[in-house]
Amino acid sequence: MALPLAGIEAILSSDDLQIASEDAVYDFVLKWARTQYPKLEDRREVLGSRLARFIRFPYMTCRKLKKVLTCNDFDHEVSSKLVLEALFFKAEAPHRQRSLAAEESATLNRRFIERAYKYRPVKVVEFELPRQQCVVYLDLKREECANLFPSGRVYSQAFHLGGQGFFLSAHCNMDQQSSFHCFGLFLGMQEKGSVSFAVDYEFAARSKPTEEFVSKYKGNYTFTGGKAVGYRNLFAIPWTSFMAEDSLYFINGILHLRAELTIRH
């Protein structure tokens, strides 16, 4: 909190910040600015002209972006522009997102470049009718998967269904029957609370040669806060086959996972 402005700018320009998510960067920047610049006009000036460019709004969650729009610390015109740009980026196809990031990496801007987040960004499509449902896409790079061996796990950002926060986690774990390592995928509910939620869920992954999503596991579960459920060996193969050069599941070095959640009536 005591760092000067130049120090904060230097830290925030790094792609390798070990942070949970870009939401955490935004929260930190606001807290720092409020501490250092108690007067609103000064704070708006420093956020708008110096610090906003270091926050990677396209990687923030939509829930947090809504809060940016109503945040008094930003000039309204500035926050609208930033949020609009972020939403357009989120709506782009992945190959367009990659080319925008590549174009930008040649400049001093880093807005479209993903940091090394602890929680992996997801794409979410939500439906209210005819049933409350969400479809979540999680992409993992080959090296991220390789780093899970022998017992690592990686978590997605939170997404919401029926007002309740959920997350996905990918694990390298031991298959209990055959005692080899394998790739597992799990679905967890965030807040520990008294709510219980009956959810139908389905995990799928893109696979060669068609490169279409193929269903890998279906289940249903009644969640109570803080519980997780899933499948220890999603692809029913050992880790070495999953990670092999000719693996069916890595397409241009990316593992494409999809989870579909529906609230049961």
- Tell me, yes or no, whether 88 and 143 share the same domain: no
Single pTM value for the model: 0.78
pLDDT cut 90: percent of the chain above it: 69
- Tell me, yes or no, whether 84 and 209 share the same domain: no
Q: Which helix (H) or strand (E) holds 145?
A: helix 142-146
- Tell me, yes or no, whether 134 and 83 share the same domain: no
- Tell me, yes or no, whether 93 and 153 share the same domain: no
At 186-236, the pLDDT tens digits run: 999 987 666 788 999 999 999 999 999 999 999 999 988 777 899 999 999
Does some domain include residue 112? no
Among residues 75, 106, 137, the one where a domain terminates is: 106
- Tell me, yes or no, whether 100 and 133 share the same domain: no
- Tell me, yes or no, whether 24 and 88 share the same domain: yes
Q: What is the average pLDDT score of the chain? A: 91
- Among the listed residues 264, 262, 48, the one whose alpha carbon sits nearest the alpha carbon of residue 29: 48
At 124-177, the pLDDT tens digits run: 889 998 889 999 999 999 999 999 999 999 999 889 898 888 999 999 999 878
Does some domain include residue 111? no
- Tell me, yes or no, whether 95 and 141 share the same domain: no
Task: Tell me the mean pLDDT in the region 245-249.
Answer: 96
- Tell me, yes or no, whether 92 and 144 share the same domain: no
- Tell me, yes or no, whether 147 and 86 share the same domain: no
Q: Which domain holds residue 181?
A: 120-263
Residue with the two structure tokens 């992409």: 139
Q: 52-71: b or e for each residue (b if 16 or more CB lie within 10 Å)? A: bbbbbbbbbbeebbebbeee
> Domain tally for the chain?
2
